Amino acid sequence: MPVYKEPTVYSFVRVGIKGKKFIKDESGNNAGIALIETESGHQTNIIEHKCDFIYYVLEGDGYFEINNVKDNFSKGNLVIIPHGSKFTYKGKAKFLLVTSPPFYPEQEETL
């Protein structure tokens, strides 16, 4: 199916974020796509070992801290986090997240 409607229910709620997956894991696509919402930011630092994360900021502002370097974000910004990077983010925001390859929780290390 080439057109995906926004899911009506959240696929996950954890560590200060909630998300809706647009493409289910069994679809065979080479990327994962999710809508991420947060009131205050990610509550942990993580290292994603397999996926590159690409966040497009739909709403809000705050900062990402990637490999101990802070950089502010706001609506319309694109943030690219290569796999193997340590990162977190703070602020109230709504993101479109693309992961390549698709994200699986066991690939992630919580610090």
Q: Is 104's pLDDT higher than 80?
A: no
3 state DSSP class of 25? helix
C-alpha–C-alpha distance, residues 86 and 111, integer Å: 9
Q: Would you state the structure tokens that stand for residue 19, as one six-digit string?
A: 């998300």
Domain extent listing, the chain: 31-110
CATH for the stretch 31-110: 2.60.120.10
Across the chain, mean pLDDT equals 90
Confidence check: pLDDT of 36 > 90? yes
Q: What is the pLDDT of residues 64-83, one digit of tens each?
A: 999 999 999 999 999 999 99
